[in-house]
C-alpha cells in the first residue's frame, strides 16, 4: 500500500465521521422537538457505514488481492422506537389525555456516540499525520 492509498482511506474515514458528528448534533438539537413537518415528535437518526473501494487504482489492486478499502456513509436511518409519552397537559402538543410525545433521543447516549465519533476522527487525522511524517523521513533518507 502506498502513501496516497493511506491518505485516501483516512480521508474517507474523516468524511464518514464528519457526517456521523453532524447527525449526532442534529439529534441533540432536536431532543425536545415535539412537532415536525412530517407530524409527531422528532425521530432519532443513525448513520450506517459500509466499506468502499477508495479509487480506480485501488480497485485494480483489489483484483491482485490487496484489499485496500475506505468507508462511506451508506444511509442515514430513522429510529423506529416509539416516542416517550410525558404527562404535560399545558403543552401545546399534548393529546386529549394530556400526554406529549417526546423524541426518542437520549442525550447521554448521544454524548457517548459523539465522543466515539470524535475519537475516530482524531485517529484518522493521526494516520494522515503519521503517513506524512513517514513520507518526509523517506525523502530525507533518499536525499
pLDDT band at 138 (very low <50, low <70, confident <90, very high): confident
Question: Does pLDDT of 67 surpass 80?
Answer: no
Q: Which of 23, 24, 43 is closest to 33 using CA atoms?
A: 43
Residue extents of the structural domains in the chain: 3-142
pLDDT tens string 71-114:
899 999 999 999 999 999 999 999 999 999 999 999 999 999 99
pLDDT band at 2 (very low <50, low <70, confident <90, very high): confident
pLDDT tens string 12-51:
999 999 999 999 999 999 999 999 998 889 999 999 999 8
Amino acid at each position: 500500500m502506498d502513501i496516497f492509498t493511506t491518505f485516501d482511506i483516512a480521508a474517507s474515514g474523516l468524511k464518514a465521521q464528519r457526517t456521523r458528528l453532524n447527525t449526532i448534533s442534529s439529534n441533540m438539537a432536536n431532543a425536545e422537538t415535539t412537532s415536525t413537518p412530517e407530524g409527531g415528535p422528532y425521530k432519532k437518526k443513525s448513520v450506517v457505514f459500509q466499506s468502499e473501494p477508495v479509487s480506480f487504482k485501488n480497485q485494480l489492486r483489489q483484483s491482485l488481492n490487496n484489499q485496500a478499502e475506505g468507508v462511506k456513509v451508506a444511509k442515514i436511518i430513522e429510529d423506529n422506537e416509539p416516542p416517550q409519552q410525558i404527562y404535560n397537559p399545558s403543552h401545546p402538543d399534548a393529546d386529549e389525555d394530556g400526554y406529549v410525545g417526546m423524541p426518542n433521543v437520549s442525550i447521554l447516549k448521544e454524548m457517548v456516540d459523539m465522543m466515539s465519533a470524535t475519537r475516530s476522527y482524531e485517529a484518522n487525522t493521526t494516520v494522515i499525520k503519521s503517513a506524512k511524517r513517514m513520507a518526509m523521513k523517506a525523502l530525507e533518507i533518499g536525499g
